[in-house]
Amino acid sequence: MNYLLMARLQEEFHLKMRAAHYAVNTEKSYWHWIRRYLFFNNMRHPNEMAEFEVSGFLSHLATREQVSPSTQRQALSAILFLYRKVLGKELVIDNWIKPKRSRHLPVVLTPQEINLVLSKLDGPFLTIAQLMYGAGLRLMEAMRLRVKDIDFSRNELTIRQGKGAKDRRTMLPLAAKDGLMHALTHCKQLHAYSLTEGITHVDMPYALAKKYPNAGKELTWQFLFASHNLSIDPITKRRGRHHIHEKNMQNEMRKAVIESGIQKRASCHTLRHSFATHLLERGQDIRTVQELLGHVNVNTTMIYTHVLNKGGRGVISPLDG
């Protein structure tokens, strides 16, 4: 496949991904796996390949590269998207080597460890961490909060377009209120400055940019944790103000854990794991926790029952009496 065909395939892929409203990060990941698939098969055009080549690539990932089941599933999803949505071909792939599935229990911090980590954070990063632990938010759900999603009078947060493109409501932790008010003030200042500079673009989900063409001028649509720096929208190519990059929060969290001296592989997502576990330890109903987390299936929430603070399955060691 020559360079021109590759460029056309890539352009068509990006158009289909955006028409299907996939996240930009998913779009990048999918194209990464499609490129890997094409290079693995000596850059043959995907129209010249089918189930046999796809199965060979997936088996290679499992046996040679020893990827995890989730990584292999993402590669499969990317390739199937290419064939079904871009090339209009249906594949039935049922014969490939799958990596052995291992079930890892989530890392959970104790309330004392949570307080220690939070004490090492400041500014917007402290508030973001408080929301992840205090309301069970995923990292990107916190980063993508807009001014309109915060209801101070009802102490309520609205999560828009969470995992699975679902909306949900959860509590606004009282301890995070001051930080949120400070973030809102900072957001107002940055937005006012942007308007004086003629910057009126803000990233909008799906077709809302057409429905609300002046949304970028309104404070209500601005990201609460707004970045100091302006950036170029990768899709519209317009200059505007996005939210703080999630890697900044990940780096701050990593440093806070190290400075706390905690000997656990804790990350931003650990705060969400700890939220669910601590609620269950306090006797909260698992269905309520499921709803707050935004899980479709209660079985996903059930994993937290295996890390409750009850020792080895709640059994008292004979050494202790």
Catalytic residues: 138, 163, 269, 272, 295, 304
CB count, 10 Å around CB of 288? 12
CA–CA distances in Å: residue 185 to residues 41, 124, 142 = 54, 12, 17
Backbone phi, psi, residue 242, to 5° = -100, -175
Decide if 77 contacts 278 (C-beta within 8 A): no
Query: 127 exposed, middle or buried (CB, 10 Å; 0-12, 13-18, 19+)?
Result: buried
Torsion sign (Cα): 164, 169, 170, 172: positive
Query: 154 exposed, middle or buried (CB, 10 Å; 0-12, 13-18, 19+)?
Result: exposed
Q: Residue length, the chain? A: 321
Instruction: For the chain, report the end-to-end CA distance as a whole number of angstroms.
Output: 72
**Structural tokens at position 136:** 């069970």
